[in-house]
Each structure stands twice: as structure tokens, then as C-alpha cells.
Amino acid sequence: MGKVGIIGVGQSAFVRGYPGSIRELAYEGFKGAMEDAKISNKDIDASIICSAPEYDKQRSPAGVIAEYLGLTPQPTFYLESLCSSSSMGVRTAYSLVKSGLHDVVCVLGFQKMSEITSAESQERMGRGADIQWESPFGTMMPAYYAMYARAHMEEYGTTEEDLALIRIKAATYGQMNEKAVYRKPVTMEQIFDPERPPVATPLKVFDCCANADGSSCIIVANEEKANALCDKPVWILGLGAASDTVNTAGRDLFTGLSVAIEAGKQAYEMAGVRPEDIDVAEVHDCFTIAEMMAYENLGFAEPGEGKELIKAKETYKEGKTPVNVDGGLLSKGHPIGATGGSQIRTIVLQLRDEAGPMQVKDPEIGLVHNIGGVGLYGNVTILGRS
């Protein structure tokens, strides 16, 4: 059926407290993507609405949002795989287009997390784990990733200072990103301020991303439509997806995420590329240790050597493998359902040379690594100019 491309991308600003409804929030990302693609609602054959449930009161939000966006009577449906929902949405859209069932599909990710308190949000996240065997014992996201950080430190000698370098990089680029929640520099002194208690040792406040409200939108089209409607389509070259045991007690790897390794292998094979071919990447840095593990899981560094990449600034914009040069989740914030779409938007803009002050020099191939839960779901998407 030919190639499948991305012809439009959009994103709302990520904020800590959006004043409107979820449908209004969704519209902001949608409007940007439609203006970018220069198409109208009648050009869209189907929509996929992506978020994690229970952060707002609306059941079946796909119907509400599709109606508000004027995407009826076209089919719409709801997709969730926790934090990787909109990456999984793009994978699904690719399948719908590749099969010939639809020509143009809109993938809309959103989350309005400010409708509940931080404590309630942490409880919802905890229930992303097994509600029978794990979450009743108080496991929460920072604690899970602190366990991975401790294992990485014990196995490879990684230090808290190594992780702090990742946060400093995130803040360097977050300052440049007008869509990010946090746009201030961060220093080593701030990170290790003794007045700031640890969140979950060894992770401190600056090692953790923050919840946010936001939306993102990706317009996917078949080759004929992409070439007809878009001057600079970006092509989906490779897709990988994997899942792991819900209970961490069922896993045998704690210095990395098996889903990232497996999804990466699939995406590299499908795209016919290797880690060294990636010119720019977005990885799921919900915590600093998550970015460190992503370096290694994706083959940018050997296991245990991710710390050498950040020490040498090889993951900065001018480095060998630029990673998260939009500030990542650590600076942008993490509106769960919108995160994957935001990452994909960043790589699309990079490949179109439209990333402004965050632009990497002449990238041809970009990668997006998006994780759902604590390594429960993994998606890797490889995009290219040609």
C-alpha cells in the first residue's frame, strides 16, 4: 500500500493548570496540527483519541472530543496504554492507513491532570501496577524508578551526580521550548540543596518530571495523500512495541526496561537502520534514570556506559546522538496521553528543519522512545525525511 507519512503536527502549551475543559484542551493541539497540515475536517477519515482514564470525569472521551472537533460522522475510538497512549495511537493509525481502510487518520492525545489533587494523581498512577499484588502496598512511580536507579548504581557505579547532569541538560533546552512548563536553568547546587528532601532515594525533586495538562495531535496519511497535501512529509520508517509483566517481581532486569530493548529491536529492523544511524532522539525521561537507561536500551551506549554519554555531552544538540533537545518530560511536563504525540512532533519538526533554537544540524533519521507505566508498555517509532 506504499509508505505512510506524517503531514501535520500540533501541540498545546503544557501547563500546570489548564482553565478550560478537556474538549477545549484537545482543540488546541488539533488546531495546530490542522493548520500545519493545511487540511480541513472533511479530509480526515477517522480519529483516535488517546489518554489515560480516571483523571477527569468523562467516560468515553473519544465521542465527546470528536464531536467538538467536528470529526463526526467519521469513526472515532479511544486508545490507552498509559503514558505511551499517543505513540500507540500513531502505531494504530499507521496500521489503519497501511491496510487501506483509511487514507488520513488524526491521532489526538490529551490529559487534564489538574482536575484531581497530586495525592489522587499518585494513587491513580500507582494503580497502573497490579491492584491485587503491588499497588495496595503503596508503590508509586518515583519509588519504582528509584528501585531501578539503585540497581543501576549498584551494578554499574552510576552516581547521583551522573543523573543530575541529565536534569541540567533538560533545563538547558527547556528554556528554549515555548511549550514547556519549566523554562529556567537548573544548577548542581539546586539539585543537591539539602533543604529539598529526596522524593524516593536516590531520586530528588529535580530527578522527577511533573504532571501537566496538555494535548498533542499527529495527522497520518498514505503516500498518495501525503505527497498531494504536504510539501515536506515525514515518513514512518519503523515501529516497535512490547509489553512486560505488570508485577515487577516477575521481571529479571532492573538496570533497564525490557520493553524498550524489544521495541527498539523491532523498530530498527523494520526501518533497516542501526542505533548509530539515529541523528536525533526523544526518549521517555519521566525520571533522570529513565533517560540513562534509554541510552543503553536503545543501543546508543553499552550497558553501564550511558553515564559516559552525558558526561561527554554527546546527547547535547552538538553531540553524537542528540537526545531530548526540547527539554524532555523533565522540562516540558508529562500530560500522560499527550506525551508521545509531543515527542513525535518534536522529531517531525527536527526532520523538517523547523525546530528553531533547538534544531539539530541536518538530521535525516529520528527516533521516539515512549514508555507506558513502569516499563509495562514500550513503543519505539523511527521517522525519516525520505
Phi, psi of 110 (to 5 degrees): -150, 160
3-state helix, strand, coil in the chain (%, to 5): 40, 20, 40
Check: CB of residue 12 under 8 Å from CB of residue 28.
yes
- Cell 501496577, residue? 129
Burial class (CB in 10 A: 0-12, 13-18, 19+), 278: buried
Active site residue 83: yes
Continuous segment of H or E residues that includes residue 13: none
E-strand ranges in the chain read 4-11, 46-50, 76-79, 104-112, 213-222, 234-243, 280-282, 365-372, 377-384
d(CA 62, CA 47): 8
Contacts for 251 with CB less than 8 Å, ≥ 6 apart: 244, 245, 258, 375
Q: DSSP secondary-structure letter at 14?
A: P
The one catalytic residue among 102, 152, 284, 334: 334
Active site residue 50: no
The one catalytic residue among 83, 106, 208, 230: 83
d(CA 174, CA 312): 20
Amino acid, single-letter form, for residue 307: K
Sheet of 46-50: strand order equals 76-79, 46-50, 104-112, 213-222, 4-11, 234-243, 377-384, 365-372, 280-282
Burial class (CB in 10 A: 0-12, 13-18, 19+), 258: middle
Query: Which residues are tagged catalytic?
Result: 83, 334
